[in-house]
Amino acid sequence: MSNFGITVLGTASAVPIADRNPSAQVLNVHGRLFLIDCGEGTQQQFRRFHQSFLKVEAIFISHIHGDHCLGIFGLLSTMAMYGRTAPLSIFAPRSFGPVLKFYMSYFGEDLSYQVEHVALDAKEPKEIYRSGELVVSAFPLNHKIECFGFRFCYKERYSYAYCSDTAPFPELAQWVKDVDILYHEATYTRAFADKAGPRFHSVTDDAARCALEAGARKLVIGHYSSRIRDISQFESECKEIFDNTVAANDGDVFEIC
């Protein structure tokens, strides 16, 4: 069993493809699970990669674009069907509030547990959750809508940072400084760099430079555009700047300690 590690459930961007689901990851801390983003089909990925619905202690949603949150309705309902009784906190932008309210108004009466939305509000890294030896901080990203990244620190010695949809900005490398594993979106390769700016996304070079400037131990990339099916292009471009880069596939597991 992992002491502290990540299972990647989805590596696609806005459009899911046959072998890639939208964004979702599970952080495992000694068998305690924490879900990061919840794109469409996340509960199917739970099944596929042998994750427990009932062991999820909290959910962290970066923003409310569909490829990061549309799986939440099915997941919440399935947790109830499995008899969950433990309260569930969802850390998400304020804009998630009406989304959850809609779900609860139509489907919430059958839930067997309490769901709490903890609205994120941070202009710089801010602690939002602490449980045992796990501390979670949130920080703002540079996207079209309000969007947050997360840093998970375990035993004050090990850390994992999740940077979903974002255009590059100077403070980010400092906010994820010295992280053991940095997950950074790399939606586009250099050939499609003209697409990144207007959409507030990153290209391979942006992710690699952030990892290099932060002094990260490893860079994991994902959130690939459906225009590019050969992900080795993403990895090779990043490696030119930051050698210890892995282009993630759905189902990949990364052990932090």
Q: What is the predicted pLDDT for the residue at 110?
A: 84
**What is the mean pLDDT of the segment spanning 20-45?**
97
Is it the case that residue 19 has pLDDT exceeding 80? yes
Adjacent-strand bridge partners of 158 = 154
Is it the case that residue 1 has pLDDT exceeding 70? no
- Please give the share of the chain, as a percent, with pLDDT higher than 70: 100
For the chain, how far is it from start to end, CA to CA, in angstroms?
A: 11
Residues forming the active site: 67
Q: What is the predicted pLDDT for the residue at 209?
A: 98
- The token pair at 19 is 């072998």
Instruction: Note if the pTM is more than 0.95.
Output: yes
| C-beta separation of 234 from 186 below 8 A | yes
Write the pLDDT tens digit of every residue in 177-210: 999 999 999 999 999 999 999 999 999 999 999 9
Q: How buried is residue 135: exposed, middle or buried, by Cβ count under 10 Å (0-12/13-18/19+)? A: middle
The secondary structure of 98-143, three-state, reads: HHHHHHHHHHHHHCCCCEEEEEECCCCCEEEEEECCEEEEEEECCC
What is the spatial distance between Cα 77 and Cα 79, in angstroms, rounded to a whole number? 5
Q: What is the predicted pLDDT for the residue at 202?
A: 98
pLDDT class for 15, splitting at 50, 70, 90? confident
Write the pLDDT tens digit of every residue in 205-241: 999 999 999 999 999 999 999 999 899 999 999 999 9
Question: What domains does the chain contain, in order, with CATH numbers?
Answer: 4-255 (3.60.15.10)
Is it the case that residue 2 has pLDDT exceeding 80? no
Is it the case that residue 163 has pLDDT exceeding 90? yes
Write the pLDDT tens digit of every residue in 86-110: 999 999 999 999 999 999 999 999 8
